[in-house]
Amino acid sequence: MLQLLKTDSSNTDFKLLVQLLDADLAKRDGDDHQFYAQFNYIDAIKHVIVAYVNNIPVACGAFKPYTDTAVEIKRMYVAETYRGQGFAQKVLAALEQWAAVLNNTSCVLETGKKQPEAIALYQKAGYTQIKNYGQYEHVENSVCMEKKIG
């Protein structure tokens, strides 16, 4: 049975899943990984969800403030052996609901062209591609997306 825990970035299971995420991204991004890594520190994220199956941490996601009315989805990951079972969709939906309760009206995110599963997940969840924002503005491998919530 799936359980979703609202927590913050001090959660040890979240830290473990993020280590697995970073290892996966390092393989996918190759030489570009260091550029992206500088924007993915987790030391002060206040809104994290960790998904558990039979008390085993299997997926995670987080958000941080982006503007006064928008959050940025960060650190979405599903452990390899648990992929394809809808856990990412459930974590993402829970993050969106949490953000809406906090009076946010949209979510933005950045993912990479080398992560087609992530792009498909976000499109299925109603995200649309937008102009690359902030530090990703001139990064050809980045895909930025947005969804209205609330």
Amino acid 44: pLDDT: 82
Higher-pLDDT residue of 38 and 140 is 140
Amino acid 29: pLDDT: 60
What string of DSSP letters covers 48-67? EEEEEETTEEEEEEEEEE-S
pLDDT tens for 24-62 read: 877 766 665 455 555 555 678 999 999 999 999 999 999
Q: How confident is the model at residue 83 (pLDDT cuts 50, 70, 90)?
A: very high
Amino acid 17: pLDDT: 96
Mean pLDDT of 112-120: 91
pTM given for the model: 0.90
Mean pLDDT of 102-117: 94
Q: Which CATH architecture has domain 2-148?
A: 3-Layer(aba) Sandwich (3.40)
Amino acid 27: pLDDT: 74
pLDDT tens for 128-138 read: 999 999 888 98
Q: Is 55 exposed, middle or buried (0-12, 13-18, 19+ CB in 10 A)?
A: exposed
Residue 94 parent element (H or E): helix 87-101
Separation of first and last alpha carbons in the chain: 27
Instruction: Please say if the pLDDT value at position 120 is more than 60.
Output: yes
Query: Domain extents for the chain?
Result: 2-148
Q: Count other Cβ atoms within 10 Å, centred on residue 62.
A: 26
pLDDT-above-70 percentage for the chain: 89
Mean pLDDT of 8-23: 93
